[in-house]
Structure 1
Amino acid sequence: MRDGARGCSPARRAALAACLLAVCLLTAGCWDRVEIQDRAFVLAVAVDVAEEGTDKEPGKAKEESYAHPAPADRFRATFQVLRFGEVKGGQEKPGGESKTFLVTGRGPGMLDAVRDALGESSKGLWFENMQVLLISQKAVERYGLAPVLDFFRRDAEMRGRAQIYITPGEAGKLLAIAPPTGEPGGVFLANIARRHTKDIHLPTARTDISFASQALDNRGDMIFPVVEPAGKSMKAKGGALFKGGKFLGYQDEYFISGLRMIRATEKSTAISFECPAHPGSTVTFELFRHQTVLKPHVEGDRVWFSLDIAMRGNLDEVQCGHKHDTLDPEYLDKAQRLVAEEVERNIRHTLAVSQRLGWEMFYFKSSLKAYKPHDWKRLKDRWDEIYPTVPLEVKVRVSIINVGEHK
């Protein structure tokens, strides 16, 4: 049987393979490739209202936006860009020069501000490595959260895992601070947010751009960490509450710790209380394991929730320990009870404040939807009226498994 009858001849097969190889060579690589040194890697973005930051240092040119007829400028954006250092012998050349530099832009929208900032940068701004989005209080009070985030939610180059921070002052000034660790400011704040499992005062779980976008779509309540200048550095402290994208105000660390205990988003943290027998002395319980079970209960129009908490950990500090035998079972039972009382007290404080504000991030609504769907359909239209009066039954069980290396 001839080769043609069976298909292609060897010569035709070779020609076809050569054509395919040529096509592969032509299509290899990225059509829009840009060399790494030709990109301006943005590590953090700070958003202020347009009129903030108008005063420049003496000797520097006055900062102006590009001319456009309408609408008026709303936002001022500051971009922290990575500065590439000189490399010798495989290592970056040491020097006192900052690892980052700042460029700014203004515009009626964020894309306009990005384009305006190109007047200060010879390279295109690249957002794939963006770590942090800082937003000033004035910006969210004046325009709301949704207009500020809209560009970062839509643009394909944005990084959804970038952490959101709120600051009471001017956001752009924070990016000019050089952290003592030597990290760029954006990386410094992103790494602080990642430590939330050990710091019960940090509300940085589920507070990035992706989760904020989801909450805005579902008209959910949100909380974001607050950052402020602290000497020559900056510090994350407290939380900023939002309802439906509207800024409600700030809450302190004690409020946040109660919220974290209800949601069980911490993995290792400290819970302290004053020793009742020795006022002024602190006893600290180090939490290692935390489980919570939240259950909804409905009887007609009456709704309440039960919260069962189990905690395991160590006695990590007993300032009046020389006056107690911390190995005594009676003392340990009392310490466990005192930890449980402090946890319940903290939770009830947070719930009372939240119900007064009509703000809810305790999974009450989602729990009711999941476990009592028929009741939820019946009550959802009146949930805003029901929630402020919903009771919570709290049961806390604490187990101290160790007292450290000294009794």
Structure 2
Amino acid sequence: MSQYVYKLNEIPGFTHLMLNQSPNIFFKKIINITDTKTKNNQDYKIISYDSAYLNNEHVLTYGIFRSIVVNSVNDVVSFFPPKKMKFTDFHKRNPDFNNIIVQEFVEGVGINLFWDPTIGITGGWEIASLDDVGCHVLYSVEDNKSLRDIFMDIIQQKNMDIDSLEKRYCYHFIIQHPVFGLIKQLDQHELFLINVFEIVNTGDHTVNVFTVDYSGMKETQNFTHLKFPKVYHFTSYQQLNDDFTSIPYTTMGLHFTDNNGRQCKLINPNYEYVKYIKDSNMFDIDIFRHQYIYLCLRKEEGKVVDYLTNHYLNRKHFLFFKKHLYLFTQTLYLNYIYCYVKKEIKLSMYSDIYQLHLKLIHQIYINELKPVKENIKKKTVIDYVNTLSPEMLMYLLNYQYLDSSYMSESSVAIAN
């Protein structure tokens, strides 16, 4: 894994801030500085960009200040991963997909664990979220727990000894806990180690943040019960495009990092769909009724447009239904290619419902296409899906989200 450095003093205005001088006007406009005090009476500043003023032009500069914590002696002690670029901008800077690390974009709440030498007499560990140091604010009213309580509970469950950690590092974790209302169903609380940073403060208030390769830490006793983001081995943007829509909905998305530390993310459209219907309280009879109406109307040309003319408020829902049907069709096509053409995945690896339709599509190949020396194309699968009844499509589009025993085998397997 490549290591890189974020040189904070190269951002205009940061050096003045660290020297207790007035930064430039633009720095003041785009950067928020929040004074905060913990329950232990430790004073901190949180430096973070104002998303209302941060545009694409400044993502690689002021976007570094996603959440930086400065202690009482003006040393940076905590560093959150920077803001991510748009995928299109990332692609332009990395057109050949060389030296790009692709990992799972983990769903959950981010938290930093860092050592502050100004705590007490000999120093101490502290935690920070994006907008809070100490994290004592009540997070779950039902459980009467703060984010700090939740983090410490998980640390204890994972048998993690904080005091044995390397104090010169800042550790960035993602917490997965039922109280966060995640899409993924959890059998137990999880803690992912996402990044490790070494923050170097010098006497002249120069601050450099180095990324640390933590691969060697995974097997140490402190981290054996933690989780780490899944790594994907894509070799091209074309492969990424082919496989992306088949990632299981329980995976939030993909995270990309180039060898200069620039980052971007892609949110999994399957995840987006489930989150949309969950956040909208749409797991009810009414939303399925609208989905069924859409699937019936699309059978006849022009009927969807006619319906939305008189039911405009359903337009947003219908767009999601259309997108979701496209994703299902794309996944079915790719599953056929991986199974019958590339022969990389056995038919038995798919769920029963996918096996049935893959077999039926293959019968089209055997009976209609093979005799005339043609192959299954995406258009073939689109035409096949269009022959299915609205009732069958209702089942195909929703069973995996409603069945808690559903496993990712029904989607294309991506090499890890």
The TM tier, using the shorter chain, reads under 0.3
> Normalising by the residue count of structure 2, what TM-score does the alignment of the two structures yield?
0.26
- Greater RCO structure (CA 8 Å; 6+ sep): 2
Query: Whose Rg is larger?
Result: 1
**Superposition TM-score, scaled by structure 1 size:** 0.26
Structure in which a larger fraction of residues adopt strand: 1
Which one has the bigger helix percentage? 2
